Structure 1
Amino acid sequence: MSDKKLPDIAMYIDNARLIKKPELQKLLNVSRSTLGRWIKSGNFPPPAKIINGRSLWHFHDIDRWISERAHEAG
Structure 2
Amino acid sequence: MKAIRIKDVIQKVSLSQSTIYAMIAKGHFPKPFELTAGRVAWLEEDIDTWLAEKAGRAAAAAGSQRISGMAQAQLG
Shorter-normalised TM range: 0.7 to 0.9
Aligned to 2:15: 30
Q: Percent identity?
A: 32
The runs of 5 or more residues in structure 2 that have no matched partner are 60-76
Gaps of 5+ in 1: 1-15
Mapped to 2, the partners of 1:71 and 1:17 lie a distance apart of 23
- Could you state the TM-score of these two structures normalised by the residue count of structure 2? 0.71
- Largest Rg, 1 or 2: 2
Deviation of the 1:39 alpha carbon = 0.7
Q: How far apart, CA to CA, are the structure 2 residues paired with 1:63 and 1:20?
A: 14
Spell out, residue by residue over 1:20-60, the C-alpha distance to the aligned partner (whole angstroms, 9 max, x if none): 01110111111111111011110001113342212111111
Q: Give distance in 2, aligned partners of 1:71 and 1:34.
A: 21
Q: How many residues align?
A: 59
RMSD (CA atoms)? 1.1
Could you tell me which of 37, 45, 68 is aligned with 1:60?
A: 45
Query: TM-score, normalising length from structure 1?
Result: 0.72
